[in-house]
């Protein structure tokens, strides 16, 4: 018997995490656009609780911290999309902090993950995120990990979805990610 709920009509669930807290963030915008472009039967939820996570402290009981418990629960998704800015050649602190809360608990073990980059020049953060996630034994999906050159772009009304080049790249990435998750699910 196949226990995959998607075979009986449940949606594939993807959690999208922006490493930026800035209002109007390009990283968040990319993830929101991908949620809109997701194929039928796929729910992409953009996580909005990064700012609520306290500074990582291994002496604290994570189960006693509602924001950490909720973050862990949300990571039960079928896959995770991450788009994070680069600051001083590194990962945004809030993104690294979130990952630190789940390093030892296994939420990323064999979890399909794709990295979306809002600036091809920001490769240091992508490399650092990849290294951290590989150490956490996430299953990186390179065919769905893309860089979208937003720097200096004058986006039309409707932003990323109205720009055919950007929308096509994002649609291709989310469709590739869904295929990779589906392939892994049917192979297991």
Question: Do residues 101 and 56 touch, judged by C-beta distance below 8 A?
Answer: yes
pLDDT at 6 over 90: no
Q: Is residue 96 part of a domain?
A: yes
CATH of the domain at 41: 3.40.50.360
Range of the domain at 113: 13-187
What is the structure's pLDDT at 162?
85
Q: Which of 152, 81, 155, 158 is nearest to 112 (CA)?
A: 81
Question: Mean pLDDT across the chain, nearest whole number?
Answer: 90
20 backbone dihedrals φ, ψ, rounded to 5°? -115, 135
Q: What is the pLDDT of residue 47?
A: 97
Give 37 or 153, the one with higher predicted confidence: 37
The whole-number average pLDDT for the span 18-25 is 92
Number of Cβ atoms within 10 Å of the Cβ of 4:
13
Convert the pLDDT of each residue in 64-121 to its tens digit.
999 999 999 999 999 999 999 999 999 999 999 999 999 999 999 999 999 999 887 8
Q: Measured between alpha carbons, how far is 45 from 11 in angstroms, rounded to an integer?
A: 12
Domain membership of residue 67 (yes or no) is: yes
What's residue 150's pLDDT? 80
- Domain contains 6: no
Q: Is residue 2 in a domain?
A: no
Instruction: Give which of 95, 151, 143, 144 is closest to 121, Cα–Cα.
Output: 151
Q: What is the CA radius of gyration of the chain?
A: 16
Task: Measure the CA–CA gap between 80 and 108, rounded to whole angstroms.
Answer: 9
How does pLDDT run across 134-185, given as a tens digit for each residue?
Answer: 999 999 999 999 999 886 666 655 688 888 889 999 999 999 999 999 976 5
162 — alpha (psi -120 to 50), left (phi > 0) or beta? Answer: alpha
Total domains in the fold of the chain: 1
């Amino acid at each position: 018997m196949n226990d995959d709920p998607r075979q009986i009509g449940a949606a594939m669930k993807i959690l999208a995490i922006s490493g930026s807290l800035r209002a109007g963030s390009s990283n968040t915008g990319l993830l929101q656009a991908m949620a809109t472009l997701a194929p039928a039967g796929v729910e992409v939820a953009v996580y909005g609780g990064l700012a609520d996570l306290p500074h990582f402290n291994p002496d604290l009981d994570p189960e006693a911290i509602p924001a950490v418990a909720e973050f862990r629960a949300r990571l039960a998704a079928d896959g995770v999309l991450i788009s994070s800015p680069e600051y001083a050649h590194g990962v945004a602190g809030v993104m690294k902090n979130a990952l630190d809360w789940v390093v030892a608990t296994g939420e990323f073990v064999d979890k399909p993950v794709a990295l979306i980059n809002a600036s091809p020049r920001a490769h240091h953060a992508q490399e650092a995120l990849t290294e951290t996630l590989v150490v956490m034994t996430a299953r990186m999906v390179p065919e769905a990990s893309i860089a979208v050159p937003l720097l200096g772009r004058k986006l039309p009304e409707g932003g990323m979805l109205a720009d055919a080049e950007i929308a096509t790249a994002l649609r291709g990435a989310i469709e590739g990610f869904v295929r990779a998750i589906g392939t892994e699910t049917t192979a297991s």
